[in-house]
Amino acid sequence: MVRSWHGILRRAARLLPTPAGTPFTFGYALVLLATSLYAEFGDPRTVAALLHASSTDVAHLSRTPSAALLASALWVAGGLSSPYALGFVLVLTALERRIGAWRTAGVFAVGHVGATLVTQVPVAVSVVAGHLPETSLHRLDYGISFGLLACVGALAGLLGPVVRGAVLVWVGAMLLRDLVAFEDPLTAWGHVLALLIGVAGWPLARRAAGRAAASG
């Protein structure tokens, strides 16, 4: 009985990031913990100003694209109570254990940057064409969800067929619900694109996982 409990605890511990085993996820999680706590307990006006400055809206992307993309990924929309917070820890830990820190960081970055640009460029074009008001250039947009969804897509390709199908069906159903609700179509479509970015990287992720397993 004691041995079985030890085995369960060891398997459960592997779900969480560690400094040695998953340094990227562990370090990034600490940053997100700090910013989330500040967003919860810091001065509301200062927090609002920081979030506005971190927004990846068209106005910020046109002036300081690198700074905006980096700063927006330092916050969790909804804070620690958001499902994105738990999803970040579990998904990125699992992915990093399979393909390594640098490759996991790469998947996250490509999803975050790619989905952001693909969703914001049409906004800029629509404003120039007169189809959207100029206020659309200053839409508040920040968070880790695009990078996280790309990592979900990449991780799915490394799972067994049954689990992979279950994950994709579950996540796909949530994304479809958001699209149908039409409450935030820009973000909803960005989530779909981010997931597809991760899925498109399956061949690379599988080769990386194979190399990591061989060297380990």
Q: For 35-90, what is each residue's pLDDT tens digit?
A: 999 999 999 999 999 999 999 999 999 999 999 999 999 999 999 999 999 999 99
**From residue 20, how far is each of 88, 100, 125 by CA, in Å?**
18, 11, 45
pTM for this predicted structure: 0.92
d(CA 98, CA 163): 16
Residue 27 in any domain: the answer is yes
- Give the pLDDT confidence of 76-134 residue by residue, as tens digits: 999 999 999 999 999 999 999 999 999 999 999 999 999 999 999 888 888 777 767 77
Q: Residue 171: which of 190, 186, 156 has the closest Cα?
A: 156
**The pLDDT of residue 193:** 97
Q: Residue 71: which of 137, 135, 150, 140 has the closest Cα?
A: 140
CATH of the domain at 125: 1.20.1540
Residue 139 in any domain: the answer is yes
Residue 3 pLDDT > 70, yes or no? no
Residue 170 in any domain: the answer is yes
User: Cβ(73)–Cβ(112) under 8 Å?
Assistant: yes
**From residue 47, how far is each of 54, 59, 60, 76 by CA, in Å?**
10, 19, 17, 13
Residue 8 in any domain: the answer is no
Mean per-residue pLDDT for 157-178? 96
**The pLDDT of residue 131:** 62
Mean per-residue pLDDT for 140-149? 96
Residue 206 pLDDT > 90, yes or no? yes
Total domains in the chain come to: 1
Q: Residue 148: which of 173, 177, 115, 123 has the closest Cα?
A: 115
Domain that holds residue 173: 23-215
